[in-house]
Amino acid sequence: QSALTQPPSASGSPGQSVTISCTGTSSDVGGYNSVSWYQQHPGKAPKLMISEVSKRPSGVPDRFSGSKSGNTASLTVSGLQAEDEADYYCSSYAGNNNLVFGGGTKLTVL
């Protein structure tokens, strides 16, 4: 069982927006502005999409955005495109050199 809770699935039609949640505790998500989001296509390594809650690394489309409220972080994908269909994972620093991950959300573009 993963430390952070994500919905197992999410879906949306092309052009729509979808939001994926990531719920932790005050010891991880709520305690640090250190939430990252990763996109993983089948058979590939995860790719960093969001760091430090809401920062986009170079090359990541601005359709991807992140936020946090209390112990829950969120990833929003706007203007859904077919290539956004993938698994998405959140992670958070949890203090004492501890990194925790969510169980992943499968995003389907209808």
Partner 1 sequence: QVQLQQSGPGLVKPSQTLSLTCAISGDSVSSNGVPWNWIRQSPSRGLEWLGRTYYKSTWYYDYAVSVKGRITINPDTSKNQFSLQLNSVTPEDTAVYYCTRGQMRYGMDVWGQGTTVTVSS
Write out the residues near partner 1 by the rule CB under 8 A: 2, 32, 34, 36, 38, 44-48, 50-52, 57, 89, 91, 93, 97-99, 101-104
Nearer to partner 1, 13 or 96 (CB): 96
> Please, are residues 92 and 34 in contact by the beta-carbon 8 Å criterion?
yes
The number of beta carbons lying within 10 Å of the beta carbon of residue 76 is: 14
Least distance in Å: CB of 29 to partner 1? 13
Nearer to partner 1, 12 or 24 (CB): 24
Least distance in Å: CB of 47 to partner 1? 7
Nearer to partner 1, 51 or 72 (CB): 51
Burial class (CB in 10 A: 0-12, 13-18, 19+), 50: buried
CA distance 63 to 49: 11
